[in-house]
Structure 1
């Protein structure tokens, strides 16, 4: 029996067989349960290793072997792993983000129709949250000086630990709640293996009601607020640390200014275009488990700020020639990234101001085959990789560790492109093969 849903104006199935609505997952990703265990252990471990392997706490980037030996024998790094003040600060930060979501006005935007016939609504105010936060931070630094905003830098390891604890708490909570009646599960997270489902995410969109009809969606909230904005604040804290070390009234180095501008623009761009994530695989397909929780809350803010953290204690000036080159590389990458995403979003919204050519599919939808999307199947990833390289180059060529980001991003985006291609193959069938014959390159034209 089908009834009319007044809020969403879509057909909603009132009673549907549980096995049909939430079928058992038959395919593992990330190497199955063993891979899930490996990623769950190595992700937090890598966060600690990246910091200890590139820090003035251990004596360099990388630190000398003698320095590593003496550091491991000392209690400095061990004591720095946990700090209750840092834990409560992190919890306060997360609560602040929740409060901003609740109080700051924002548009309510509908997501895609889910397989149970329902359509969720999401509140869009992440950009306003970032502006408010940056205003408060700028006012604090202006009034009290850069020394007032080095807490993040000074408590880096402890904040990493706090974010991991928050990720674990959320992952276990949503996994437990996913067994309640009526929960819509992710198609890939209902395998029956406890470890794998906890890692990959069993429930598709865990949320809770906040007064009346308001819905707080945990996955979209974590995707763009606590982690991304904290990434910017992390960069700013590193810049303040550098300024304190350089002396009163000293300016940051050109490299530190560049990394703050580049990554700040990237974050603000994501927040300004918040509604576009509603059609991404993370939201429409993946469940919410430890993988997304630790990725959003810990990995993004603390591994992506590696360049700024290095520049805080290793103060290199790039000089004008390299500065111009790095700036140009980032600008070209950003242009490709933003143009490709805008073309995709406007085309998906039923508009085609650039008269882009497309391939009509049997499903009735169309695939763009001109512009940047005619050059590769993921041109936005192409731009992303160019920006990633520019960010790494702000640190010069003094250490390979700060180039970890570009290596990681190549692996991440290659894997994501492969997952997306597999989803599209199932979705479009023979039409996808026709599309691939026209758009041959997966990410970078003539390379891959």
Structure 2
């Protein structure tokens, strides 16, 4: 067993190996606290030392630590809110109706595939209804999540470290008896903690933790934060501005897209090949909902008269979002429905919204020597990573709607473009190794990477 778990990752470790991932595990939470403190205590501008002397820097960190202790202490109330939500979503995962499908064949499981119950769309709308009832009945005001943003963020960060540890140790010590067996370990404790020990840890037969964390935690919370911003603005000013409506609309589109297309996530690279460690757990639990939401935090902290943009500017940002979302939704649908067709997974859900050209009729593709396929029609005919391009411009629109007075909403698109470039680099390396000459032919037929006829 131990012999089979240590892989050639010893020879190639991503992210700079153990030193690089250690820096990220320290740096990610620091950046989150820094952005939050800048938003709350410095009017959306970057916090800076009064001087760059030793005493000035020490004073800066003392003040910064005081901000965290004062406004982001992980209170019992925040723990109760966060984990009540997580547990409730877990119950929805295994009880609400949905469609059943199977993942890709897994080599380390003798080419067997795992079953999945895909009901995130039911979980999404059930959660919306329950939160609306709780808010209107004053049992739990949705604006509480804005008031408790700092403590909730701390709870999410700490929880991500704890869950990663439990899954890592559980996989090493108990394997399939508890979660999942170790898979492709590098032999370095810190690096494996970051990347994960197991591929598909589960509680029972159906609650796949990777799938659960992928959709229901990050994107649902992000949407609820934007809704809380709209409610807070209506309560304070008697109306909701076009900018806050935009943020609600944008976050709804993204959360709903992930939920309605959950079965299309099942055969993706993340589910079949990316191990479930700190990298995925942290960003799903904490990073995404509590850093991608700075556009909503910016708007929630200001009188809407402070950002009354022109009609033409608002129209431009709305149009950018809608056009990019259409390509994003239909492009991902084309790819994943094609993949499902190839693997004989023909279930197609008719969830809202159903957009034109989501399924390619008679798709062209390369049948590779290794048995795989490379799609050469639909949106991918024009650019192999066009879905990344429009995903980035969607993220940029979330920041553009806030204007240019604060840099904090622009953290997400700036960070996201770095993530996408790194992801594309990884994809190309893996595709070259996996498909060989067939990948070269694929690049010849589909020569553009991000922007059709340009790059």
Normalising to structure 2: TM-score of the pair?
0.86
Cα offset for 1:70?
Answer: 12
Change in CA separation of 1:309 and 1:356 when aligned onto 2, cut-off 3 Å: same
Deviations 1:10-56 (A, max 9, x none): xxxxxxx663466353320111001110111111111111111122x
Match of 1:129 among 95, 114, 123: 123
Match of 1:186 among 173, 183, 186: 183
Deviations 1:287-330 (A, max 9, x none): 11111111100011111111011001133223321111111101
- The answer to whether the 8 A contact 1:111-1:279 is kept is yes
Unmatched runs of 5 consecutive residues or more in structure 1? 1-16
Q: RMSD of the alignment, in Å? A: 2.4
Match of 1:310 among 279, 298, 302: 298
SS in 2 for 1:119: coil
Cα offset for 1:77?
Answer: 4.3
Alignment of 1:373-412 (within 5 A): 373-412=380-419
Cα offset for 1:62?
Answer: 4.0
Distance 1:208 1:20 in 2: 24
Partner of 2:260: 272
Match of 2:43 among 39, 51, 59: 59
Cα offset for 1:234?
Answer: 1.4
Match of 1:218 among 206, 209, 215: 209
Distance 1:326 1:107 in 2: 35
- The answer to whether the 8 A contact 2:267-2:340 is kept is no
Query: Does residue 172 in structure 1 map to residue 165 in structure 2?
Result: yes
Alignment of 1:397-436 (within 5 A): 397-436=404-443
Normalising to structure 1: TM-score of the pair?
0.87
Distance 2:48 2:171 in 1: 48
- The answer to whether the 8 A contact 2:120-2:260 is kept is yes
- The answer to whether the 8 A contact 2:264-2:337 is kept is no
Match of 2:15 among 21, 30, 36: 30
SS in 1 for 2:146: helix
Match of 2:24 among 28, 33, 39: 39
Change in CA separation of 1:383 and 1:76 when aligned onto 2, cut-off 3 Å: closer
Cα offset for 1:447?
Answer: 4.9
Query: Does residue 119 in structure 1 map to residue 119 in structure 2?
Result: no
Query: Does residue 100 in structure 1 map to residue 95 in structure 2?
Result: no
Distance 1:278 1:387 in 2: 23
Partner of 1:299: 287
Larger CA deviation: 253-262 vs 316-325: 316-325
Change in CA separation of 1:64 and 1:285 when aligned onto 2, cut-off 3 Å: closer
SS in 2 for 1:350: helix
Distance 1:295 1:324 in 2: 32
Change in CA separation of 1:430 and 1:74 when aligned onto 2, cut-off 3 Å: closer
Distance 1:305 1:216 in 2: 27
Unmatched runs of 5 consecutive residues or more in structure 2? 51-58, 343-358
Distance 1:119 1:74 in 2: 48
Partner of 2:226: 235
Cα offset for 1:442?
Answer: 2.2
- The answer to whether the 8 A contact 2:267-2:339 is kept is no
Cα offset for 1:286?
Answer: 1.3
- The answer to whether the 8 A contact 1:358-1:370 is kept is yes
Larger CA deviation: 263-272 vs 222-231: 222-231
Cα offset for 1:266?
Answer: 0.9
Larger CA deviation: 304-313 vs 70-79: 70-79
SS in 2 for 1:30: helix
Partner of 1:138: 132
Change in CA separation of 1:23 and 1:104 when aligned onto 2, cut-off 3 Å: same
SS in 2 for 1:239: helix
Distance 1:76 1:369 in 2: 52
Cα offset for 1:99?
Answer: 1.5
